[in-house]
Amino acid sequence: MIKIGVNVFLIFVIVVSCNTDYKKTPFYYTVNKALIKSNIEFLFPDGGEIDEEYGSVQQFEKQNLKITYLTDTIFAEAVIAVNSCGKAIAEIKFSKDSLVLTTIETKELLCNSLEWYKYQYWIANPKNKKFVVTQD
């Protein structure tokens, strides 16, 4: 009888420990609460074609920065280079009358190569305020 009780207890401990969710929310998942949702689309690996086609990375970023003000939301698109070995999520920062579209790296293991992604941001703007929008 004791063996059965011990076996049942061990099975219970194993099942509970395997099904317990130990995930802790790291600081980088706490994105700005004004960011309603975001979308990411891979464009291409980093290379010389940007300089050849657009003249510079800054011109490429500037030409692909799009901002649309809706009733109580801002829709923004930006192209951003992120680490090829990492995983970056969308993030926004406010500073007075400025809105910065940026990303946060969620992996610690990084490498020396970059990839270009198009990030889309849906940002709550209940006061329909106009911002100077930049990207980081």
Residues listed for the chain = 136
Residues 6+ apart with CB under 8 A from 99: 74, 76, 92, 93, 123, 131, 132, 133, 134
Burial tier of 122 (Cβ tally within 10 Å: 0-12, 13-18, 19+):
middle
Where the chain has pLDDT below 50, the residues are: 10, 12-13, 15-30
What are the pLDDT digits (tens) for 61-72?
888 999 999 999
Q: Read off φ and ψ for residue 59, nearest 5 degrees.
A: -65, -40
**CA separation for the pair 67, 81 (Å, rounded):** 19
Q: Read off φ and ψ for residue 44, nearest 5 degrees.
A: -170, 160
pLDDT at 9: 53
**Predicted TM-score (pTM) of this structure:** 0.73
Q: Read off φ and ψ for residue 56, nearest 5 degrees.
A: -165, 160
pLDDT at 110: 86
Identity of the residue numbered 88: A
- In degrees, rounded to 5, the angle at the alpha carbon of residue 36 between the alpha carbons of residues 30 and 41 is 90
Tokens linked to 75: 């829709």
